[in-house]
Structure 1
Amino acid sequence: MTSQTAQADFLTGGDEMAAMIRAHDWSSSPLGPIAGWSQSLRSIVSLMLASEFAMCLAWGDELGFLYNDHYARIMHDKHPAALGRPFADVWADVWSDISPLVDKALGGDASFFENLPLVTNRKGYDEQAWFTFSYSPLRDDSGAIAGMFCSTYESTERVQTERALRDERERMGQMFAQAPTFMAMLRGAEHRFELTNPGYDKLIGHRDVLGRTVAETLPDAVEQGFLDLLDGVFTSGVAFTATGMLYAVQAEPGGPINDRYVDFVYQPIRDATGAVVGVFVEGADVTDRKRLERDLQSLNADLEQRVSDRTQELIEAQEALRQAQKMEAVGQLTGGIAHDFNNLLQGITGSLEIVQRRVAQGRIDELDRFITGATTAANRAASLTHRLLAFSRRQPLDPRPVQANALIASLEDLLRRTTGEQIAFETVLADGLWTTLCDPNQLENSLLNLVINARDAMPDGGVLTIETRNALLDDHFAASQRDVRPGHYVCICVSDTGTGMSADTIAKAFEPFFTTKPIGQGTGLGLSMIYGFARQSEGYARIYSEVGHGTTIKLYLPRHYGEAEQGEALPGLTQDHATNAGEIVLVVEDDAVVRALIVEVLGELGYQAVEAHDGPAGLDCLRTMERIDLLVTDIGLPGLNGRQVADAGRMMRPGLRVLFMTGYAENAALASGFLEPGMSMITKPFAMEALATQIRTIIEG
């Protein structure tokens, strides 16, 4: 063993520093011959070398440097040349920072420093580093201070981590403070405020809540159940979410209450073990949004009402236009049939005169022929009257299954009279025509308008043809037409041999109020209403015309897969209409013939009929007669009208049953308020069977 190693033979172990110390030439070291150290110093060196902490010592006048393996690691490129050198030389780059600390230790005072920042060049360039260490004085056998002992570790990583955490906390704090929402952190089961942001302070009225509990600072929130919600989140660990919840805030006791609407979330805060230790509150004051939504709802409701009102106005305007167009057609129709209607009246009156004369002569063997002629003419006149009333009456659209051939056939007499004698009227009705779905009254009105237009287009006469056929509009045809869907249709064509239309006229023909007729002879509503009727029926209208060669207008109405409705026949006058109770019926009618007919039929059926020729006379009967089971009265009476008679009668006889008669179509569609319970109405002209049925129904209740 060499002399150098003999000086350190007190060292044991196989670690790096112990081996280096044994092999070091200590004769030239400021530490001197360490073999001569006292046993206590040797023990310190041995403990230092075996320690898991970074330790060093400096000894003698020059403070020779001795350290362990862990200290060597924080020295980087200073090791191993630092071993045995003076402490001041080793740490010359930071000596100005640590020399006061070394002097303090050599003066006999121990010191502790945490996270001391030092600028070193341990890695070959200047670097900021932090160390936590303690310096303690070392004494020799005589008790004199002969050096110092240091225990240290580099805390650079911890300092940097703490600084990063601090910076992150500051950043999060700024975000917390600047967040547009409100936030608060509550700790513990008592929900003590740990942190709030300005948004939360504003929500609660800037009350001082930090360090205090929700129950202490927000009694208004407690009363409204928010504390119970917090308890539920803290206990269950399940978040709670609310949208648009009302929070009545009272910023100070006795102060005003402001209603606020809030969206918020209560989130549980957990520790490292997963246990709930608090609640995080986050949300937004949505009061302005709620008020805006409420205003929008009010505005929408008002807008919907205005749209509804406007829609109703448009519907009423459309109905008014349709009615105006219908009345125009009726006006033209009545002018066209006046002559024929007078002929019908002539047939009635003439036949009755002959019957009267033959009866006076006692010649009654051929009366049936004249009675039949008068009845036929009367029925034809009644049919014409019903048609006119139906055309002029206001009524909503009522789509029903319709057999177009039957409808056209029922109109044929009316349409022939409309065209006049100069125009040849023809119908070509297809066999097996499909059923369609539309409003039959509107279809009748459309046909009448088309016939009138065709008649006016042939002032010098011509041929008018109504034709029906089944039509299949295929994809190719639909693609070549505007707004046409392929499918099965019933086609109704009205053709004339008149003046025809130009291309410009055809392009405008379906526009409302467009007309080629002189002022005062047309409203321009006819074809536009026909087009609208076809479209409302999910069909189409098309015009084919050539100037000088006539016009064809085709209505395509969709096929309906079902049977057309059949009209119900009026019940016949049978014994079922008769009575055995002899009920008393007061008949008030200013037309003597009509009154006599009604009284005659009532008598035949077993009723006791009492006559009154006007309103005042009927009122006298109601006032003086002991019993009246039914009042049958015309509405249009002289003196007092029928409704006035009925109202007065009910004043005297509560519950009096009333049957009104009227010859006006408008009255047949009177508002529901006109007829009260126990009242009914029948429109003239009526069949006696219909009258008997009505009377029996009313009397039987």
Structure 2
Amino acid sequence: MGDRIRAFDWSSTPLGPIAGWSPGLVAATALLLHSPTAMVLLWGAEGTMIHNDAYAMFAGERHLDQLGVGVHTGWPEVVEFNTHVLRTGLAGGSLQYRDHLMRLNRTGTLEDVWMDLSYSPTFDEAGRPAGVLAMIVDTTATVLARRRIAAEHGRLEQLFEQSPTFMALLSGPEHRFELVNPGYRQLIGHREVIGLTMVEALPDAVTQGYLALLDEVYRSGEPYSAKGATYMVEPNPDGHVDERVIDFVFQPIRDAAGMVTGIFVEGADVTDRAVAERDLRDSEARLRFLDQLGERTVPLGDADAIMAVTTELIAMHLGASRCVYADIDADGEGCKVGGGWVLPGGVPLDGRHHLIDLGAAAVALLRAGEPLIVGDATVEMPGTAPFEALGVRASVCIPLIRNGRLHALLALHDAKPRRWSTAEVLVIRQAAMRSWALVERVRAEAALRDLNATLEARVAERAAAVQQGEQTIRTVFENSFMDQTLLSTTGEVVYVNATALAGIEAVSADVIGRPFATTPWFAATPGAPDQVRAGIARAAAGDSVRLHLALDLPTGARVYDYSLRPAFDGAGNVVAIVSEAIEITARVRAEDALRQAQKMEAVGQLTGGLAHDFNNLLAAISGNLELLERRIAQGRIDGLARYIDGATQGARRAAALTQRLLAFSRRQTLDPRPTDADRLIADMTDLIRQSVGPTVALEIATTEKLWPINVDASQLENALLNLCVNARDAMAPDGGCLRIRTDNVMLGEGDVLRRDVAAGEYVRISVIDGGAGMPPEVMQRAFDPFFTTKPIGHGTGLGLSMVYGFARQSGGQVRIESAEGQGTTICLCLPRFHGTIDPAVDAAGPVVTDEQGAGETVLVIDDEPVLRALIVEVLVEAGYRVLEAGDGAEGLRLLESGARIDLLVTDVGLPGGMNGRQVADAARLSRPALRVLFITGFADIAAVGQAGSWGGLEPGMGVLTKPFPVASLTAKIREMLD
């Protein structure tokens, strides 16, 4: 590079000819040319480049084009970096980088290059920074090598951590833990050991000899391995010692000089395998012992001999000093040891003993069916008298339970402390249970032999008695006034009495052996055979069955109350079916006559009540109108308001009476909307309190997540208020507690028959009072119209009938539960609404205001001329243009004309074969946006808002019930037009 620098034409560069170079530039060039390290000089503001041979090796072929050019031209891919270098160096600063990464093009393509870089300023003769001297060391190979090593180390660490075996790395002669994997941590109970020596970290392993093994491996340099070794992990907080079985190897680690520097520990926890192998061995030994026990005891026919052999074999098998069997007294407090085995020279245990001597805790354990296991009585049960007297240090006591009560015990004793294994306890328990079952069987067989001997002596006595009893039963059977038949479990006639045969004018040979359902009792009555077959099937399954059958018999039409009852043997099996029937023809006819009389009485009471109430109301209306007419004719206009008010009140009361009757008949016009019953009751609370007065305490119990219902909210409010007022009257004059409760209920098939509603989900609203209650005859008539127990003038008798009609029309039911002196509960069950409630919807309906029209055209169709004229006059006064028609056909012609019509007001019931809904539907074919207001006084087709034969209300349709206030009509019309 020195030769190239001398031969280079520097006159074309900012440095000029070499002869004119400053001493500082010459000195810096000489320095870099004699350096073995790659160096480049960046001189001047442009960083004109001068480099040495080592730099030429670093830059590759690029260096041929870099001599004498600016550094930005020489390295265009790192302009920003070199700009920073020049700015810093020419300001007198230095820069240094270690393993700095750059993307350089040295061989024609960009590549990653890591470098150690050092930048220092060089000075001119005046001491000012004139250039930057850069030293470059390519560390790419070193960085990549370090990365490969780190990746390999990470892979090894991952394998170490994920190994299914346990691993640890110990360093130095004191065996200090450097690394442990999860398997090793689990083995030692997750103790922290890193940085600690074996003595510090695992004292339990030290005492078990593992430190000595490590010392020997470290000293000798020879590996050590073992299979099936035992490691007792130090006790956990509850004192339990975990015994593990391990296979392991201690492998010495040597340095480059061959010296042992540590030990690598690797192994596997094979406890589960060892336990399984041990359990298998124990199981095989246990089964062999139990087979031997069975061979010795099964042939024996004496209970004492069985337990003598059992106790001896158990004690010999397990090497115990004593084994005894005891029967528990009937009171459960004491026991009698009737046999057992004791080591020669030992103290026998025959006789009677008290269980409590073992201690209350031990007795409770045994009575619960759990074995009493004692490893060292002096530690676990100090002061226990029986153990101290007998020199017992270890024991297993097995309770023998029958029907939940302690009946016997088998106890095994040892004179020295002992750790009883699970396998030992299991073999004691199984041997005790087998022998005790054998003892119970032998005792039962002996008792059965004694019983048989007694029974044989009594059989002859009983045979004569049975024969006499059968004759007596047959006599009673034949003389019974009921039809009685004995059937097999499959329904064939086995026996029949004379009363039953007389009903079909037959003899026993005509029916015995035939299927009961096909006999003349049922054959001529459609459907009866199927009912009888179904009843027999139920009776054969163990049920008692009642059937009410109206039968066509050879002797005439008869009504019977049948019962089919199963007959059981001593084991509880159905062996026959007894059929009994009572003729109730006369009673049924009497009941029908009574119901007809009651129906006629109810109709008479209804019509009489209607006539009475309407006569009163019509007298008030006509009297006030007559006086009003007379005063006007006389020119006396002062005080006319009281006559108008009187007539108006009479009309309103008549309308209310009509609504109650419509409610009872389920023909009132309803406006059902999704409603939250709990919120409705909460909003009524103040009104109810005012209505029932201060002597009645009100309690309201709501239900979390009460289902919504779809009802006319105002009618529900009226019904609840009626029930609350009735409850107040029932508790008068002393008052009491009135409770209103809501809940969700599911009515099944049984409820369907009892309540006369469809099965499904309902919301139940209960009104409960603590009043006088109702006798049965009052409860039966409580919902009848005009029926009341209140004094004359204190009620119309329509309140409960209205509640009943509202509930039934809403798809629900109302029921009364009451008893004299115990209060009354009235429950409203209303069907659940499957949907959500919009809280913004006001269930009370629109606010009535006196709105004026703006010239809109309204078509009024009504066949009542007086009412039609009234409506037309009201609408004209309100600012509307009005067209009118007297029937549906005339109204439809107007609707089919080109006239402007903004709203149709029509009665539902119209003459001429076309009702109001049909007119509206036909009009909407040509006027789909037409708004329609139905006015009706009788919901004879469908409840408003619910689907029926005339369909539900569509968008743009409304309804108004007659009679209605004029203000309500104008407000409703304004609301619909707006």
Q: What TM-score does the superposition give when structure 2 sets the normalisation length?
A: 0.29
Higher CA-based Rg: 1
Q: What TM-score does the superposition give when structure 1 sets the normalisation length?
A: 0.39
